[in-house]
A and B are shown apart, each in its own frame.
Chain A
């Protein structure tokens, strides 16, 4: 499973000088800042610094870029918690409980928990990667459309946990999102719902849409407030409370471990990645919680579940990239480009011939995760000053920066126009208690579900028996149904207990 001589060589490289470490802290800082900027994705941050690595040696270049990757993975949680802005799709679920915590004056605890979950999630994922890089890659390469469909449908079950105060309105919001997610040309080449607008051929751009639905719409509602945290006393910044938030992850070990595991497995799946991992992890955390009703209202477990999954998915996507040469997402595609810039080809040959270099990269990533703790701590301490800024200054600036972010994605008016449309839609929906978060989840997964279902239909020629040829898919659907059945059993048990308590209370009174 692990080549000890290559591991020894990797340790010698890392401890033999500063070359492998000198770029880590700048990379982490750049990642944190860029990850926190709305519209600047992890991919864009890495792509911006890719030319700079051309004149570096191969190892420092890759380490610099992976540091940006690690920093940006966490940086996205800061605007998600403080302003309800998921700068990237991987931070969507962080907003569900992070922002309500900030509104209650628990921003220190929420950010501390996000940092704790991110550091732990990423750390565990890289350690797992060190031991299981080849077996994990072998599993991933066997995943076909039916298995991907299983993963996407599991993600869609998230809609069940996002229904808010009304199941009916939650489902309407979720299905609306799924329908919006299918607008444009599908993989079979059929164009639907584009209204003749060429920009919609590729579908509705998800990042401006989710910034509009979750962030800009919230800012509209905040026009009548003075601060994000209304209570004067709650606005304080406290290193002690940040630390208590950081260590609160120890009280939620199951949630943390489950999120990390989901992140590693989903992150390793090309084309799915952290955007689904954080939603699935949040969904599972809510469905198995003792108090599911507290989710969406500021439950720290929601933040831990989302952040542990999106950070650990980094390790998963690195596994696919290093072992198979397949980029799991945009960020790993930039890393592969950096490999190519230095005339190195990622994939099975790279692992065979340069195992020591692969181990050096993975071990350095472990070090990056440890360094993320002090760097991230300082970063969130200063970023938390945002809660002290009056909303009359914050609202115009954040709305403007979200428009710039939307423009930065495509360089056309399509991004800002999408943001504007979904901002108004998000405000209207949340006013009438339709959860905008369910629209976002539906949008992110709608296209994926349709495409994978379509591919499965084409491969199987429409025969339902095809599923019996795919043991992996059977396993995914089995665990999904098992998870649902267990949740239903626990809910029924709780309902019975509650009824019994009410009957006892009635009889004693």
Chain B
């Protein structure tokens, strides 16, 4: 959050960005809907809901700009740099897992994600990480191979 001292306004940029992103998607969805057809069978529910949604989003914008005026229960949880970094790191590792499963292989993707995930979550014993990641990989891949009728691209297993 940043404070614009002269006007005593504290802007919650993260919240503002979230609201603007939802508003942008809603506007795009409305435009896409109207470009397909203006027949009531197409617009019946979605068009009025998009308009209502945009009104509600406009109503929430002042809460992003005057974040200091909000009651405590509406304030986002305070996160220090390390705490936020860990959340961001696990999200990126999760992106890596989904990407690597379909490019490198399910087995190696899971193994690497477990290693990285354990490290991010605080495990520091060097031998625990590969053993746990290896066991998880074998159980997950072999277990789901038994249950799921779809092919799983693997590098080793």
Binding site for B on A (CB under 8 A): 40, 44, 48, 165-166, 168-169, 171-172, 175-176, 178-179, 182-183, 186, 188, 190-193, 216, 219-221, 223-224, 226, 391-393, 395-397, 399-401, 403-404, 407-408, 411, 413, 416-417, 419-420, 423-424, 427-429, 431-433, 446, 449-450, 453-454, 457-458, 462
Contact = CB atoms under 8 A, between A and B. Distances in A.
Given A168-B60, A223-B87, A407-B148, 17 more contacts: A165-B73, A168-B59, A179-B50, A192-B42, A193-B29, A220-B94, A391-B121, A396-B118, A396-B121, A397-B114, A400-B136, A407-B101, A407-B144, A417-B98, A432-B76, A457-B44, A458-B41
10 contacts: A168-B60, A188-B42, A223-B87, A393-B132, A396-B117, A401-B140, A407-B101, A407-B144, A407-B148, A416-B98
A178 B49 contact: yes
Contacts of A429: 18
Contacts of A407: 101, 144, 148, 150, 152
Contact of A449 (B29, B45, B101): B45
A393 B114 CA distance: 9
A220 B59 CA distance: 29
B46 A411 contact: no
B44 A454 contact: yes
A417 B121 CA distance: 23
Q: How large, as a class, is the contact surface on chain B? A: 35 or more
Interface in B2-61: 12, 14-15, 18, 22, 26, 29, 32-33, 36-37, 39-42, 44-46, 49-50, 52-53, 56-57, 59-60
Given A182-B46, A400-B140, A449-B45, A223 B90 contact: yes
B33 A192 contact: yes
Given A40-B147, A400-B140, A395 B42 contact: no
Contact of B97 (A175, A393, A399): A399
A130 B59 CA distance: 53
Contacts of B15: 432
A193 B91 contact: no
B45 A450 contact: yes
Given A223-B121, A400-B136, A427-B91, A192 B29 contact: yes
Contacts, number: 167
Contacts of A188: 39, 41-42
Contacts of B50: 179
Given A396-B117, A450-B45, A169 B33 contact: no
Contacts of B45: 178, 182, 446, 449-450, 453
B94 A399 contact: yes
A413 B103 CA distance: 11
Main secondary structure of the interface of B (DSSP, over half): helix
Contacts of A40: 147
A52 B102 CA distance: 32
B122 A392 contact: yes
B33 A403 contact: no
A48 B102 contact: no
B41 A224 contact: no
A392 B118 CA distance: 6
A224 B122 CA distance: 9
Contacts of A411: 148-151
A199 B117 CA distance: 29
A408 B53 contact: no
B156 interface: no
B117 A395 contact: yes
Given A179-B29, A188-B42, A403 B101 contact: yes
A165 B74 contact: yes
Contacts of A417: 98
Contacts of A423: 91, 94
B69 interface: no
B36 to A, nearest CB: 5
B56 A220 contact: no
Closest 9 pairs between A and B when the two form their complex, measured CB to CB? A411-B150, A396-B117, A392-B121, A188-B41, A190-B42, A408-B148, A450-B45, A165-B73, A396-B114
B120 interface: yes
